[in-house]
Amino acid sequence: MLGSIKWNIGIAVLGCGLTFAFSIGNNGISITLLRSLYALAASFVLAYGLRYLLYVLSPAVDGVQGGSEEEKGSNLDMATPDDGEDIHRLLQQQLGGEKEEEAEHLPFQPLAPPRMMSVKDKSPDELAEAVRHLKES
């Protein structure tokens, strides 16, 4: 089975709480408590079915299902797939199809962002007119 009995208890309490919350407005307290108790038992049993279904559908990993306790966690796979070709191809597509040889021969050019204009030389009337123009937009 996948998980532990704590999952069964948690699902059962959740089912009981939801049944109580939705039933209390339409029924008396005794009927609501009885139905909540039924929901608790049914949710507890259905949680076993859910856990078994998840166990059957989960992929079998060597050493995890059916292995002894001493062997579990002893294997560590440090290999990763080589995605260098795919990454290189994607980068070339993003750069507009430039080839690696062409990119290596281009000289280095630092970024040249536009300079901010200084407002020290402007008159107060021109600055006020600029602010009025910005407020109108």
Which is it for the CA torsion 68, 69, 75, 81, positive or negative? positive
Cα–Cα–Cα angle for 119, 125, 127, rounded to 5 degrees: 35
- The pLDDT tens digits of the residues spanning 18-31 come to 999 999 988 899 99
At 66 the pLDDT is: 54
- The pLDDT tens digits of the residues spanning 48-104 come to 999 888 888 887 655 445 557 777 777 777 777 777 888 888 888 778 755 555 556
Predicted TM-score (pTM) of the model is 0.43
The number of C-alpha atoms within 13 Å of 54 and in the hemisphere containing its C-beta is 11
Which is it for the CA torsion 20, 48, 74, 70, positive or negative? positive
Q: How far apart are CA 82 and CA 88, in angstroms?
A: 11
At 32 the pLDDT is: 93
- CB–CB of 32/20 below 8 Å? yes
Using a pLDDT cut of 90, give the percent of the chain over it: 26
End-to-end CA distance of the chain: 66
Burial class of residue 69 (count of CB atoms within 10 Å of its CB; 0-12, 13-18, 19+): exposed
